Amino acid sequence: MVSRPSRNRRVVVGAAIGLLVLLAGIWLGGHPNLLPSPIRSAFVDDSSGQLVNQALDIIQRDYYRPVDRAQLVNNGLAAAVDGLDDPYSQYISPADYQGFARASPHISGIGIDINPDRRGLAVVDVFPGTPAAKAGLMAGDVILDVNGDSLAGHSSDYDSSLIRGPAGTQVVLTVVRGSARHVLRITRASFTAPVADDRLVSYRGVKLGYVQLTTFNHDGAGDEVRADVEQMLHQGARGIILDLRDNGGGLIQEAVNVASIFIPDGTIVSTAGRNSPRQVFTANGGAISTAIPVVVLVDHGTASASEIVTAALQDRHRALVVGTHTYGKGVFQEVQELPNGGALDITAGYYFTPSGRNLGAGGVKEGAGVTPNVYAVDNNPGAGPDEALIIAERTVASEVR
C-alpha cells in the first residue's frame, strides 16, 4: 500500500517531467533542424527541403565540372522569385545585399538616376559634376549593357549593381541615344547623390518655391524637403511646386514625412497585406500653413511612394496635381534578411489613399494611377522651356490670395 505523501511525490515528479517534455517539444518544433534525421522525417514535413538538398547534392557530386553550391542556391532563389512574375520582387544575393545601403545617399559610381526599361536602364537624370556628366551621358539615353553584359531581362537593382563599384575603377557602358549607339568608358568616383533640389521662380511677378525630389529611398528625404520648403517661404515664396516627375518612390515612412509638410493631421496612407494587419499612417504634425497653395507635378515615372504623396495631397484637397497619369503601382515591398546574408525584397501587400483608392490594377499590374487635375506634358525634355513646369507655375500662381 502506497502512502499519500509518496503518491503525491510521484504525481509532482510526473507532472514536472511532462512539462519538460512539452516545453522541449515546443522548442524543437521551432528548431526542427536540430532533430536527428529519422525523428525529423517522422515529425516534420520537410519533403521540399529534402528534395532541394538531394538535387543540390547530386549536382555537386555528379555534374561534369565542379560547381559552387552557394552560387547554385543564389541562382535557385533568384529563379524562384522570378517565378512569381512580379517586376517589383527580387532576391538579393549576399554580395549585393552588402551594398544595398538604401538609407545612405553616399554612393560610389557614375552619378545617374535610372528607371527600368525593357532594353536595360533608361537614364532619367545625370547629376552635375559626376563621372557620368563628364563622360557625356544624357537623360533619355538607354544603357544596353555594362562591361559586355546585356541588361535586358534583369531587375533594375541587379543592373544598377553592375554599374556601381569602387571609386577609381572603370566601367564600360553601351548606350543607345535615338538610333545611334555609343560606347562610354567611365571612371567611377565617390559622391553624394542629391535628394532634393530647390529654387525660387517667378510667374508674372508672383514668387514661387520649386522643389524637385528625386527619390524617397534615403532616410532624411522628408527632412531635406521640409528644410527647402521652409527656406523658400522665408525668402518670400507664396506658393510651392513639388516636382515628383520620374521619382520611382522608396520608403513609405519618407512619403509620410513629405506629405506631412503640407497636411497638418489625419490619414496619409494605409497598408494591408495577407500576413500583416491593416496599418494607418497619419500626419506627423508641424505642417506649413494650409493657406499656402501647393501643386504636385507628376508624370508616368511618378510611382510608389511618390504616388502616395500625390494621392494624399489630392484626396485631402491640399494640392492640385499637374501633369499626366502617374505609374499606377498599388503595392508595397518589404525587405527580409536571410540566413545566408542575402535578402528577399518581395511584394507584401497593398496601399490605399486616404479616400480608400488603390492605384494599381490588382496585384502587381499597373493601374490608372493618379489622374491629374490639370493635364500637362513636356514635349521636349531637356530641350527648350519645360512646358509642364510652366503650367504648374501658372496653376499655383492662380491659387495665391
Active site (catalytic) residues: 304, 329
Find cell 515612412 and name the residue.
253
- What is the SS3 assignment for the chain? CCCHHHHHHHHHHHHHHHHHHHHHHHHHHHCHHHCCHHHHHHHCCCHHHHHHHHHHHHHHHHCCCCCCHHHHHHHHHHHHHHCCCCCCCEEECHHHHHCCCCCCCEEEECCEEEEEECCEEEEEEECCCCHHHHHCCCCCCEEEEECCEECCCCCHHHHHHHHCCCCCCEEEEEEEECCEEEEEEEECEEEECCCEEEEEEEECCEEEEEEEECCECCCCHHHHHHHHHHHHHHCCCCCEEEECCCCCCECHHHHHHHHCCCCCCCEEEEEEECCEEEEEEECCCCCCCCCCCEEEEECCCCCCHHHHHHHHHHHCCCCEEEECCCCCCCEEEEEEECCCCCEEEEEEEEEECCCCCCCCCCCCCCCCCCCCCEECCCCCCCCCCCHHHHHHHHHHHHHCC
